[in-house]
Amino acid sequence: MTRDDQQRLLDILECVNDLAQISKLTLNDFLSNKIAQRAAERLLEIIGEAANSLGEEFKARHGGVEWRQLIALRHLLAHHYHRVDPQQIWIVITAQIPELVYSLGSDVR
């Protein structure tokens, strides 16, 4: 793993840890808390940007990760923020982000 990939992976892990804190809220609390929603959106943007910066070799080694989906979500959040559905963000942070950590395997443990 290159030094750049290591840094991007650390960026992703930091965001994942912060999202884990947000995911401790109930769905109703999340939906009624704009600050938590915006924080989650920003953290997902950072994950998407970091994913976009990872080397192709790293991405190929972790073929189970939906890299394009992460990057597309980042573009949606950054450029089409008015179309963001908070319930979909909740699904991402409570279901898909844990899958990301699992798919990255030993690189994150």
Is 109 considered catalytic here?
A: no
Catalytic residue among 3, 79, 80, 83: 79
The half-sphere exposure of 89 on its side-chain side, counting CA atoms within 13 A, is 28
Is 75 considered catalytic here?
A: no
Helix, strand, coil percentages for the chain (3-state, nearest 5): 85, 0, 15
Catalytic residue among 42, 61, 74, 83: 74
Kindly list the catalytic residues. Answer: 74, 79
